[in-house]
Structure 1
Amino acid sequence: MFEQFSAGYYLGELYVQPRETDRAAIKRADHERVNEQLFGDESGLTRLDTPLVMKLGTRHFPVIGDEDLPSGTLTVPTESVPEDMKFEVPGRTEVFLADADRTGELLEYAGWSGEPPV
Structure 2
Amino acid sequence: MTLEEFSAGYYVGRFYVEPSDREHAVIARDQHEAANEQVYATGKDIDRLDHPLVMKVDETHLPVFAADDVPIDTLGLPDSALESTRVAQPPTLKDVLVAKAARAAQLLQWATPYTIREPNLA
User: Do both share a fold (TM > 0.5)?
Assistant: yes
Whether 1:87 and 2:88 are equivalent positions in the alignment is yes
Is the contact made by 1:24 and 1:75 (CA closer than 8 Å) also made in structure 2? yes
The yes-or-no answer on 1:43 pairing with 2:55 is no
Equivalent position of 1:54 in the other structure: 55
SS at match of 1:117: coil
Stretch of structure 1 that moved more, 3-12 or 35-44: 35-44
- TM-score w.r.t. length of structure 2: 0.87
Runs of 4+ in 1 over 4 A off after TM superposition: none
Distance 1:88 1:12, change over 3 A: farther
Q: CA deviation at 1:44?
A: 4.4
Matched, 1:22 2:23: yes
Task: Report if the CA contact (8 A) 1:13-1:93 is conserved.
Answer: yes
Q: How far, CA to CA, are the matches of 1:40 and 1:47 in structure 2?
A: 8
1:65 aligns with 2:66: yes
Tell me the alpha carbon deviations over residues 51-98 of structure 1, each in whole angstroms, 9 at most, x when there is no partner: 000000111110000011111111010122144513253221111110
**1:25-63 per-position Cα deviation (integer Å, ceiling 9, x unaligned):** 000110011111112223242111100000001111100
Query: What secondary structure is seen at the aligned counterpart in 1 of 2:70?
Result: coil
Q: CA shift at 1:101, angstroms? A: 0.7
TM-score by length of 1: 0.89
**What RMSD in Å do the two structures reach over aligned CA positions?**
1.5
CA shift, 1:15, in A, is 0.8
Contact 2:108 2:115 survives alignment (8 Å): no
The aligned length equals 117
Q: Is 1:10–2:7 an aligned residue pair?
A: no
